[in-house]
Amino acid sequence: MLVATRHWRSLGLAVGLSLALLAGAHAEEDKVVATVNGQPITESELKIAITDLDPQFARLPAEQQRAAALSALIELRVMADEAVAKGLDKDPDFQLRMAMLNQRALHSEVVDKEVSKSITDEEIRARYDKEIAAQPPENEVHARHILVKTKEEADDIIKQLDGGADFEKLAGEKTEDPSGKTSGGDLGYFGAGQMVPEFEKAAFALEPGSYTKEPVQSQFGWHVIKVEDKRAKQPPAFDDVKEQLRNVVLREKYFELAKKLRAEAKVDIADADLKKALEPAPVEADEKPAEEPAKAQ
């Protein structure tokens, strides 16, 4: 299978750099899967190349993924050899880009080895518990509604309910809400801020089992609302937010490490405009530095 370089997720140069570094460390012990112009391509290089293919290749069988990755590696090698043969590797701009790619690769290694792999499940669980404990208690309402176009229609529905009519049956017959016709007007549980203000205010004011004695007008029409239940809002399950929280912890640890290393480094900015742009804005006496609270989604 021929795979063009456009199928790489990242820059070919960055991949080539990573593979070159890997080849130097493992060429003697790795199984050689192919050679290009006398230079080996090893199993370790192939494994990295597989992970760097476009996501679409993940659906292919393992052997086809290996073939696609090898095809891309061969293409990478012959293009690289062509560049060297024509002296493109001596170009100052190319050498500058290679130096930056090397730094990016090393940056990624630090993030992976020193930050990402240092995060434990216990840390993530502790962060989850902290976030849940910090959330103010919220209530949810389970409600149904019947939506009609006029107040007169809504008044008539309320009279029928007062006379013992079944709310769900009336919803199926009368509501203008298409989804309500098949669900008896059921809206499920919702919390503050999820409904239009008029509707929300009326729903939260009702006790479970009761319905509005006066029609509620909103931008959608006239509502008759029935509350089925109220409960404390349930927090998200740990497993549902674990990866999000892991990213929060990773981000915090990354910035903590970056701040530490920058403080320890000797940095001299020669460009006056850039230096001024990077200087922190002054904090007024009655102000505190802004913080970005991490929230469990």
pLDDT tops 80 at residue 88: yes
pLDDT tens figures, 191-206: 989 999 999 999 999 9
Domain count, the chain: 2
Picking from 213, 232, 234, the residue whose alpha carbon sits closest to that of residue 224 is: 213
Q: Is residue 41 part of a domain?
A: yes
Counting Cα atoms < 13 Å in the Cβ hemisphere of 215 gives 20
Based on the domain organization, do 79 and 149 belong to the same domain? no
Q: Is residue 215 part of a domain?
A: yes
Q: Which domain does 225 fall in, by range?
A: 139-232
DSSP 243-275: HHHHHHHHHHHHHHHHHHHHHHS------HHHH
pLDDT of residue 137: 83
Q: Is residue 58 part of a domain?
A: yes
Based on the domain organization, do 9 and 82 belong to the same domain? yes
Based on the domain organization, do 84 and 143 belong to the same domain? no
Q: Is residue 98 part of a domain?
A: no
Picking from 39, 23, 31, 29, the residue whose alpha carbon sits closest to that of residue 74 is: 39
The amino acid occupying position 284 is E
Q: Is residue 282 part of a domain?
A: no
Q: Hey, which bits of the chain come out as E strands? A: 32-36, 39-42, 139-148, 186-190, 216-218, 221-232
pLDDT tens figures, 13-64: 344 444 444 444 444 457 999 999 999 999 999 999 998 888 888 888 989 9
pLDDT tens figures, 95-120: 999 999 999 999 999 999 999 999 99
The amino acid occupying position 75 is E
Q: At 225, which CATH number?
A: 3.10.50.40
pLDDT of residue 99: 96
Percent of all residues in the chain with a pLDDT value above 70, rounded to a whole number: 85
Q: Is residue 54 part of a domain?
A: yes
Task: Please identify, among 183, 213, 232, the residue that sits at the C-terminal boundary of a domain.
Answer: 232
Task: Please identify, among 199, 232, 265, the residue that sits at the C-terminal boundary of a domain.
Answer: 232
- Cα angle, residue 94 at apex, residues 30 and 110 outer, rounded to 5°: 55
Task: Please identify, among 216, 232, 248, the residue that sits at the C-terminal boundary of a domain.
Answer: 232
User: What's the mean pLDDT in 244-253?
Assistant: 95
**C-beta of residue 12 within 8 angstroms of C-beta of residue 80:** no
Q: Is residue 55 part of a domain?
A: yes
Residue with tokens 């002054």: 282
Q: Is residue 150 part of a domain?
A: yes
Bridge partner residues of 189 (DSSP):
142
CA separation for the pair 199, 8 (Å, rounded): 51
